[in-house]
Structure 1
Amino acid sequence: MNVYIKSILTFNNEGEKRHVDLTDGLNVITGESKSGKSALLEIIDYCLGSSKSTIPKGEVTKFGHLFALILKFPKYHLVVARNRLDDDGKKQMYLYRTSQDIVPKELSMDLFTEENKLNLEQAKIELGREFGITVTSSTENIDAIKNEPRPSVRNMTSYMFQHQNLVASKFALFYRFEDSQKRDQTIKQFPVFAGWVDQQYYNYRLELDELIKQQKRNEKLQQSYSKSTEKIKRDLLNTFKRYYMLVGKTLDDNLSLTKLLSLRKSLPDFTRESYLSEEMEHRHGELKKQREELKQQRYDIEMSIRNLELSHGYGKNYSSNLKSLKAILNHSLHHNDSYDCPVCGQGVKVLTKKIVSLKHSKKWLVEELASVKVQGNEFHLQIHNLSMEKDKLNDEIRRLGNEISKIEEITDRWKKTKKLDNEVVYARAEIDIECKKIEEQQANLRKNDNESDVRIIELNRLIDGYNLNSYYSQAETFFKTNISRVIEKVDFEEEFRPADMNFLLDTFDLYHHDKESKSRVYLSEMGSGANWLACHVSLFLSFLHFFALQEKSALPSILFLDQPSQVYFPEKIFVNAKEKSNDVQKVEQIYKTILEEIELIKETTQFKPQVIVTDHVGELDIEGYKFEDYLRKNWRGNDNKFI
């Protein structure tokens, strides 16, 4: 997105201010240590809604009562400001939008009124909207314990900031990634910041997830229904049989569920002539006979279980006795196969024979113990299987008992009233109710499946229309090409040239593909601070380039590098170009690479992204560029500092 920081400001209680004015393109702030350079990045971070203030304690925090940024958009300015954390800054921010030009040196604290004050969370939402974030929720899982947090300007900062302790780190690439939750959010929200997706995309994903899970639930219902079809059919068959019994007709036991449902519409009518009283009695007797047979089967199973339990008890006692014998044998058994007299040294045949016999007995004992253990396991399995059969018989006996009770109730009522017509009407109504219930279940399952299938196909089509896979593929190709191109310009070890850098968008890992060993060399596996710096600079210049190219990107085209030259001059507080060492030339090459990348981006996008560099370099001789054209502040000498 075409936006840059026009000025970084801080006000004290009296309204006195300090400010650093910036432009698009490259902005360099240089100076001695403790001049306030590194505070600038922390002020920007604080004004972009950080939950805590990391502005260095000292002169800046003593002076600073309110911190502010002026953001320049193509058609308007946005002022973002925040009081010190301990002075209402923890909960409040100021946002002021105007189409008029804002001159930093003319800006006063009069602007920061109650009218422009928002609570911190709302201010971050509004700031995100200014940058073009339209997504309010990136949740894709309907069963998520809590919704995914909305994409925020806070996650954008991971692409924008390279702190002093990060810019050449071998272990970390991104700001805020030490928090795994924030890391995962930033990676997941990459398509949002790139402008590839909108809220509707996540709505589709959420609905699709819900439908797929509903479909799986329906499949389980279908399976459950299919498994219970036999029971449903049997219960319905019994209902039909009661009716047929009342009207004096017989019913085929082998009718399918479908046939039974269709039979409902053509039930035989009741007539006095067709009724046979013996039918009810016959049905009642048949059911009682079936129940008695099942009770006998249950009794046989119960006796088998009891016998097995008794046998298992005997086996346990037998095993215990065998173990005792084994312990005695182990204690008393001679270790040799023969026994010699301790006095004369001659072999004693009788004792030798007993030793051999005892050893054979021990072998048998060990084998018998193993056999008893196996048989014990078999007892458990047989008892379990018989218990399962007994449970099934109990269910069937219970069902037959219910059928018998219903017939007896009908018989009792008929004997009292002598009105069989009412019983027939009731039995017919019972058939209607059960058939309708089954038909509705079947219809609902079919309807849900059909409707879900159609909508799932439609949602997949709508989601595919966002072409995310294609975007990701193109993006990874871009990063591979661009990072490799940029890193060749800076101080990158010859061992890794020609560079084949790859950035994985699903994990945010950066690695060099070694063609010789056909292996990946990750950042942490590369030696030398120069290599680490080269990786950071090339990756984040590529991010700057990539997001600038995305037509609907919500990410500001801003990159802040804090003291990149520290790799070459860790102890120096001032580096002068006159000390024309090889290291100075390498630093100059970094700045030249930054400027060339800015120009390349402008050629394609028609605007310059902003790169802010705080460093301790002095005058540099950058081929094709004048260093002083990009120098915004040079804080050296007495009283020459930010505060």
Structure 2
Amino acid sequence: MNAFVKYIGVIDSSDNSHYVPFYEGLNIITGKSSTGKSALIEIFDYCFGSSEFTVPEGVITDVAKLYFTILALGDSILILARKPYREGKKIYIKVEDGIKIENINSNYFEEDYFLNEKDFKLELGHYFGIDIDDTDTDLQVRENRNQKNPRPSIRNFMSFILQHQNLVANKHSIFYRFDEKEKREQTIEQFKIFMGIVDQNYFILMQNLNEYMRMLKSLKKEEDKVLNYELLLKNTLKDNISKYQIITGRKLFEENIDNILLNPRNYLELIKEMNIDIDYKDNTYTNRLNTLRQNRDKILIEKRELENKEYKIDTSIIAIDKYKRDIKTISDFNLETNSDSICTFCKSPNHVLGKTTNELVDAFEWLNLELKKTPYLLDSFVKDKASTIKEIKEKEKEIDSISKEIKDIENISKKLIEKESLEKQAQKLLMKMESIFEEILINRKNDIEKQKKEIKNQISTIKDELENKYNVDNKIKKVERHINSYMNKIGKKLDFEETYNPINFR
């Protein structure tokens, strides 16, 4: 829709109409000072619903009975008018197919078309395509903020319509600045609305997109929990399968744990139907116990080596720290360099001694440089210590884990002494494993992958629609190029001062 101002005017107390006509394109108004030029922009702003009356006081405000602005909107004419502020805040708005300016007087402006400010701004916004009442792009953010984004207002659009005098031909600014940071940010954010790039459906799509993105993120977290829980169940099952072999002397399954978990239901049924058979000649119990004790001893040796390394690092740190304090009191080693020395007796030059002296000077310079570097070694030792402590803790965890397994195996014999047969111990293990298999099956019923796929499809669909229908970033760049081009086209026809040339508005 193309729109432009046709008339800005005043009806005086004698019911005479005074107006300035405008035409499509650039209109330039010239005249002497105090002849009403500045009042035009303020009348326009006032008729567009300004909450302040800023028409300069003088002849116009003394005799004005009504202020009006008439615009061409496509094939229609939009008439806006207001009485002086002291006579009320209602604003006139009406659409006509056409109008004859010479017939405009106070009788034309019927009271039924005067609206209060709030209703007027909403009605006026409709004519400029501002029919959006929800500009939030993320409902969760709105909930956290506990309020909706402000509704787009025709008043915010004024930033792109009006120019203050001190900004005309200003090479640093195109649109007038805001005193309020919040209002400035709102206007910038709503630019795509004023330019007709987006509609209400765009914001609904953005809300849905952000909601789906949040759901996908939540599912990924849930998936991580499920995977971590299954890993825990897997390790527990693996330990119990190993214990079963130690107790019975027989392998429970020939397959490894990964293959078993490919079809947990099948192995669950096998366990339910399994008869326990003890191999009393098997030495798995003794072999496993000995292997664990050997591994624990090996890791203990490694841990002690690391503790010795930590002690040496601590000693080095203490020594370097002391050196840093001492070096402040030590001066650099210096040696004067001479060219060739002269023999006292024969007065002949000694080239060899001069060469040796220079080599000694080089050695002193190297020593001074290395001494200055020494304090910086402290950082390296501190890092080494942190790394060594981490390794020690890992070794301690390994020792604790092996010790626990040794204790569990030793408990098999202890339970035998306490009259709990190997068959009974094996039966208890089978019951535990049965429970683990059932937990794995329940854990896998939550088909997260399927939900993720559905949500990803929704996200893809929304992104495609946003790209194909709106493509906001590219359209804003296109609008920016159009504004730049149009401003430069106008600028080249005006007589700017030399400091403003060459014209390149952006």
| TM tier relative to shorter chain | 0.5 to 0.7
Between the aligned partners of 1:82 and 1:416, the Cα distance in structure 2 is 105
RMSD: 5.8
SS of equivalent residue, structure 1 residue 327: coil
Measure how far apart 1:429 and its partner are: 0.4
Q: How much does 1:225 deviate? A: 9.1
* 1:36 and 2:36 correspond: yes
| Matching of residues 499-578 of structure 1 within 5 Å | 526-527=500-501
Query: 1:433 offset after TM fit, Å?
Result: 1.5
Helix, strand or coil: the match of 2:198? coil
Query: What is aligned with 2:267?
Result: 266
Tell me the distance in 2 between the aligned counterparts of 1:318 and 1:338.
38
Distance in 2 of aligned mates of 1:367 and 1:475: 62
Over 3 Å counting, the alpha-carbon distance change for 1:252 and 1:398 in structure 2 is farther
Residue 45 of structure 1 aligns with an amino acid whose one-letter code is: D
Deviation at 1:485, TM superposition (A): 6.6
**Deviation digits for residues 23-42 of structure 1 (CA, Å, limit 9, x no counterpart):** 77479987653243322311
> Are residues 484 and 410 of structure 1, via their aligned partners in 2, closer, same or farther at CA, if it must alter by over 3 Å?
same
Q: How does 1:66-465 map to 2 (within 5 A)?
A: 79=80, 81=82, 84=85, 94=91, 104-106=105-107, 116-119=115-118, 123-138=120-135, 149-176=150-177, 189-208=190-209, 211=212, 234-242=235-243, 249-250=250-251, 255=256, 257=258, 259-263=260-264, 265-267=266-268, 268-269=270-271, 273-275=276-278, 290-317=295-322, 323=327, 326-327=330-331, 329=333, 362-363=364-365, 365-366=367-368, 369=371, 372-373=374-375, 376-400=378-402, 415=418, 420=425, 421-434=427-440, 436-437=442-443, 439=444, 443-444=447-448, 446-465=449-468
Structure 1 letter corresponding to 2:431: V
Q: Deviations over 1:470-495 (max 9, x none)?
A: 8668767866876677667x4568xx
TM norm structure 2: 0.67
| Whole-angstrom distance in 2 between the partners of 1:144 and 1:364 | 63
Contact 2:17 2:105 in 1 (8 A): yes
Q: Which letter maps to 1:309?
A: D
Q: Secondary structure at the match of 1:165?
A: helix
Tell me if structure 2 keeps the 8 A contact 1:157–1:175. Answer: no
Q: How many residues align?
A: 483
Equivalent residue, structure 2, for 1:573: none
**Partner AA of 1:238 in structure 2:** D
State whether residues 280 and 407 of structure 1, in contact with CA within 8 Å, keep that contact through their aligned partners in structure 2: no
| Deviation for aligned residue 1:402 | 5.5
TM-score, structure 1 length as denominator? 0.55
Cα distance change on mapping 1:16 and 1:215 into 2, 3 Å? farther
Distance 1:318 1:170, change over 3 A: closer
Q: Which residue type is aligned with residue 302 of structure 1?
A: E
Percent identity among equivalent residues? 23
Distance 1:385 1:360, change over 3 A: same
Given the superposition, is the C-alpha separation of residues 417 and 140 from structure 1 closer, same or farther in structure 2, using an over 3 Å criterion? same
Spell out, residue by residue over 1:262-301, the C-alpha distance to the aligned partner (whole angstroms, 9 max, x if none). Answer: 2553155376641468889556676565445434432332
- For residues 185 and 252 of structure 1, the distance between their equivalents in structure 2, rounded to whole angstroms, comes to 68
2:247–2:285: 8 Å Cα contact kept in structure 1? Answer: no
What CA deviation, in whole Å up to 9, does each residue of 1:246-277 have, x standing for no partner?
66643689936354342553155376641468
Shift of 1:208: 3.7
Does the C-alpha gap of structure 1 residues 280 and 214 become closer, same or farther in structure 2, counting only changes over 3 Å? farther
Provide, for residues 308-356 of structure 1, a one-character-per-residue CA deviation record: whole Å limited to 9, x for no partner.
22244345546766x37842745xx66768999xxxx9x9xxxx99999
Cα distance in 1 for residues equivalent to 2:411 and 2:117:
76
Structure 2 counterpart of 1:43, one-letter code = I
- Does the Cα contact within 8 Å between 2:11 and 2:18 map onto a contact in 1? no
The answer to whether the 8 A contact 1:66-1:82 is kept is yes
Residues 482-497 of structure 1 mapped to structure 2, 5 A cutoff: 490-491=493-494
Secondary structure class of the residue paired with 2:166: coil
Question: Displacement, 1:462?
Answer: 1.5
The change in CA–CA distance for 1:448 and 1:17 in structure 2 (over 3 A counts) is: farther
The amino acid of 2:302's aligned partner reads Q
Q: In 2, are the aligned partners of 1:133 and 1:192 still within 8 Å (CA)?
A: yes
Would the aligned equivalents of 2:44 and 2:69 in 1 still touch at CA under 8 Å?
Answer: yes
SS of equivalent to 2:34: coil
The whole-number CA distance in structure 1 between the counterparts of 2:72 and 2:440 is: 73
Q: Deviations over 1:402-452 (max 9, x none)?
A: 656767888888858765445532332034314643x357x41x3344224
- The question of whether the paired residues in 2 share the 8 Å contact of 1:291 and 1:400 is answered with yes
Checking the alignment, whether the CA contact within 8 Å between 2:80 and 2:92 is kept in structure 1 is yes
* Distance across 2 between alignment mates of 1:475 and 1:328: 68
Secondary structure of the corresponding residue to residue 465 of structure 1: helix
CA contact (8 A) 1:247 1:269 kept: no
Q: Deviations over 1:590-626 (max 9, x none)?
A: xxxxxxxxxxxxxxxxxxxxxxxxxxxxxxxxxxxxx
Do the aligned residues in 2 keep the contact of 1:9 with 1:17 (CA within 8 Å)? no
Structure 1 residue 132: Cα displacement: 2.0
- Of residues 72-81 and 147-156 in structure 1, the stretch that sits farther from structure 2 once superposed is 72-81
> C-alpha displacement at 1:134, in angstroms?
2.6
Check the 8 A contact 1:65/1:83 in 2, yes or no: yes
1:582 corresponds to which residue?
none
C-alpha distance in 2, partners of 1:388/1:108? Answer: 85
Q: Residues 378, 252 of structure 1: CA spacing in aligned structure 2 closer, same or farther, 3 A cutoff?
A: farther
Higher relative contact order (CA 8 A, sep 6+): 1
Q: Residue type of the partner of 2:116?
A: K
Q: Give the distance between the partners of 2:499 and 2:131, measured in 1 at CA.
A: 39
**Deviation by residue 1:373-408 (Cα, 9 ceiling, x = unmatched):** 575454334323322222322333444456567678
Distance 1:67 1:81 in 2: 5
Gaps of 5+ in 2: none
Residues of 2 paired with 1:52 and 1:272: CA distance?
A: 93
Higher helix share goes to which structure?
A: 2
Distance 1:273 1:117, change over 3 A: closer
Q: 1:305, CA displacement in angstroms?
A: 1.0
